[in-house]
Amino acid sequence: MSEWRETTLEEVATEVTVGYVGPMASEYLADGIPFLRSQNVDPLTINREDLKFVSPDFHARLKKSTLSPGDVVIVRTGKPGACAVVPPTLPKANCSDLVIIRCGSDLDPRFLAYYVNSVAVHHVNSHLVGAVQQHFNVGSARKMRLRLPVIQEQRAIVDILGSLDDKIELNRRINETLEAMARAIFKSWFVDFDPVRAKMEGRKPAGMSEEIAALFPDSFLDSPMGKIPKGWQAKSLSEVVDLNPPRPLKKGVEAPYLDMKMMPTRGHHATGAYLRPFGSGSRFQNGDTLVARITPCLENGKTSLVDFLSDGQTGWGSTEYIVMRPKPPIPKYWGYLLARSEDFRQHAIQSMTGSSGRQRVPISCFEQFLVPLPDTPVFQAFGGIVSSVAKRITQTGRETEGLAALRDALLPKLISGNLRVDNLAETAIS
């Protein structure tokens, strides 16, 4: 069994520096060299959402903040301490206001990232400076104390944790693909009316059985929302969806509570609900869609399909949720896909009222939001397709929760040396 040694980050890194600090807005381009900011670094992951780009010339001038695969970055402000490894998919990159670590031969970059996101959290939090916006100094990063095994054991630990993270990431991509398929079908049927247009042009609707294609007309009619398929009706959302429907839950009774910070910005599956005595707030059951109605949560896309409760169980959450439940025969997943659609989101955002920074969506705005309503057989066919997709997403999401719980239980024990790789292997065999 190898011995672990006490050291500091500056002793085992070839360089600990900081990304570019200065005005950047005028340097951003639509394409070019990826430029990471604090919001692009999540624990163990580089998040490409709202990724910025700079010119090759500007990148060349910022040599100190140049990033290469294998470099480790730590967030200084916003969410200080979030740490990730620059992946091979970013062969060239630059950054602003991040601590940059280039590891020496005795330090595995992935081991360091796991360490900073777990064992070193106390060090980061105890070395934050600044009265208005706290940040983590590069000097404090250099002095961060590490307890390290030999490089071979670091890699063995990383292999165990990484295999769990790889499966979690694979599940995330699977769910992303499944939801994209469901959203594409929703848009084709209920926004673009592709089957109707195809039949008007004498074509067979793409990817559709003859039985389902027969449910769609071959012409349009005029309606208050423009042209919609013949035989369909334009209805206000409040006519086809129950908004904030009453749910049985007495004050003081413990029930699953979903905090706003746990609402997903992508995907329908929310995690992290916990038991809490009901006080006041929105109430919901499985199959309901939750939409954050307050700024900036609405603009950020915080939306979820409730799928984490027991049958008949009522959960609760923020007063800033709008709860949507489609009326029969409309499939429940239709409500979620509608809430994710661009037309719905833009209508909600443009309907926000209130002072700057405290704006929210009034429920009354949905009386003016029109949706095209087909006959029941169309909804039945749609439900038959997307309900199985939603079920698969839920199952995969629950598997991911179990994998994440296992990883989170193993991580601090393996990284601190309280659980050795050899012991873990023996336990698994027995």
Q: What is the pLDDT of residues 136-164, one digit of tens each?
A: 999 999 999 999 999 999 999 999 999 99
Share of the chain above pLDDT 90, in %: 85
Provide the pLDDT confidence category of residue 190 given band limits of 50, 70 and 90: very high
Distance between CA atoms of residues 383 and 333, nearest Å: 8
Percentage of the chain exceeding pLDDT 70: 98
User: How confident is the model at residue 135, as a pLDDT?
Assistant: 87
Q: What is the identity of the amino acid at 212?
A: I
Residue 1: per-residue pLDDT: 47
Q: Report, as an integer, the average pLDDT of 249-265.
A: 95
Q: Looking at residues 112-135, what average pLDDT do you find?
A: 89
Contacts of 2 (CB under 8 A, 6+ apart): 149, 150, 152, 153
Domain 5-148 is found in CATH 3.90.220.20 = yes
Residue from 311, 274, 269, 272 nearest 290 by CA: 269
CA-nearest of 253, 259, 285, 291 to 272 is 259
> Which tens digits make up the pLDDT trace of 381-419?
999 999 999 999 999 999 999 999 999 999 999 998 888
**Structure confidence at residue 356 (pLDDT):** 75
pLDDT at res. 2: 64
Contact 87, 109 (CB under 8 A): no
CA angle 356, 358, 362 (to 5 degrees): 110
Least confident of 60-64, 128-132, 160-164, 191-195: 128-132
Residue 66 has pLDDT above 50, yes or no: yes
What is the rounded radius of gyration, in angstroms, for the C-alpha atoms of the chain? 26
Which CATH number among 3.30.2130.10, 3.90.220.20, 3.40.50.1100, 3.30.1370.60 corresponds to the domain 236-372?
A: 3.90.220.20
Q: Are 96 and 65 in contact (CB under 8 A)?
A: yes
pLDDT recorded at residue 221 = 97
Q: How confident is the model at residue 427 (pLDDT cuts 50, 70, 90)?
A: low
Which pLDDT score, from 0 to 100, does residue 424 have? Answer: 73
Per CATH, 5-148 and 236-372 having the same topology is answered yes
| CA angle (345 as vertex; 343, 351 as ends), nearest 5 | 100
- Residue 255: what pLDDT? 97
pLDDT band at 71 (very low <50, low <70, confident <90, very high): very high
- Give the pLDDT of residue 430: 37
pLDDT, one tens digit per residue, over 228-238 is 999 999 999 99
Per-residue pLDDT, 204: 94
Q: Where are the domains of the chain?
A: 5-148, 236-372
Judged against a pLDDT cut of 70, whether residue 425 lies above it is answered with: no
